[in-house]
Structure 1
Amino acid sequence: MTKLSVNVNKIATLRNSRGGNVPNLLKVAEDIQDFGGQGITIHPRPDERHIKYQDAYDLKPIVHTEYNIEGNPIPKFIDLVLEVSPTQVTLVPDKEDAITSNSGWDTKKHASFLTEVISEFKRNNIRTSVFVDPVLDMIEGAATIGTDRIELYTEEFALQYEKGNKDSVKPYVKCAELAMDFNLGVNAGHDLSLQNIQFFKESIPGLLEVSIGHALISESIYLGLENVVNMYLHKLK
């Protein structure tokens, strides 16, 4: 079964909009795990517009499943991850003003930098993953930098699937197959939803984990968080 890691950034966004502690991020993370979620993902950004750096520390004793921290490995982020020591760190090449993640790493151009950062995390027993576009050259580059996994950036798949183009999954299949040839684990995330997750999961060989936030939280407004978490789990079996 592919594991479901729920990104709780949107819960933090809602909390921050009123300046208090409603909804309670820690309680929501507890509930998601009680409902069957197999991981919690956060993606702190330098301006802390949703997840605050303190949240990463506060969640540490709460998350008893897999704890995944995503972000651009600037010095402040690296220090945070080393101090919190999550299960996994996912490296994403975000610009500071990016609304959301919008591209993967050029794993060949940035090979030296990524190798250095990944080595530091692995010395501290933190599993590493790098966010990549579904391009074979980027998988080949990822195989040289010491990462444990890749995370396939799935926005283009989601856009095309919504238009009825199921062939859009083919580059992802090829990249997953190549990653497995290089003994890299395969994760995926971005714009995956109840509408496309089962097809994607059934198409991608060796898919270990999906990280889903915006769609899952939005769907939960209508259907309820516990119900939606279990709907995802059912589709990922």
Structure 2
Amino acid sequence: MRNPIVKVSAVALIGLLSLSLTSCKIGSGSQNAQSSLEASASGNGTQGSAQSEASQSSSTTASTQSATASAQDGGVTPTLGSIPQGASRLEDVGDARGIWVNSPSGNIHCWFAGDLLQLCVVDSYRVDKPYGEQVLFPGSLPIAKDTILFAGYSEDGEMPRIAARRDGPVPGNPDEPMRTLAYGETVYAGNDVCASTSEAMVCWDTETGDGAKINRAGTEIFHLKK
């Protein structure tokens, strides 16, 4: 009677060993699979982190380039009481001839004389006539308003003002000193400043705060508050 019992026990033992081995394999496979998932997740995390850092680096570079582009653009903020840093002093302003300062396009000409910014002339205004025409004296033909006056008497008290002018100097005489500004360049004489930007020629008096932003589209007159 013992032999069948022994045989059964042996079969049972073999079955138990088979289950144990299968369990170990399954457990090992699960552990390996989990390790693979963790490694994959870790790799994805590293890749995501690298992509994030690359994105941040790209964003920082774009921001720096934007700031550089803005600086190269030559933007200027008119201020009272001080000449902008980096502005160069105009030397040829002592006599009546003074000096003409031209925009890079050659469309705007500003005349400094006697240590003052006297006026700016815009060539395209004679054709486009954004401010219409003006009769200089009774019987004369209308002349397009093409001049921004910064010095002299103004009937309405506004300075600068836009007017037609043919009784004063105009640029182009060969013997007159002339200087063409690059974009971003700023010059001054006395308290008066002119800055050349890609948008406009900006000129103002640092003492009175009177100024104008001048370009082909039109002239924006401003008065800085003290």
**TM-score tier (shorter):** under 0.3
Q: Which of the two has greater strand per residue?
A: 2
Normalised to the residue count of structure 2, the TM-score between the two structures is: 0.22
Higher Rg? 2
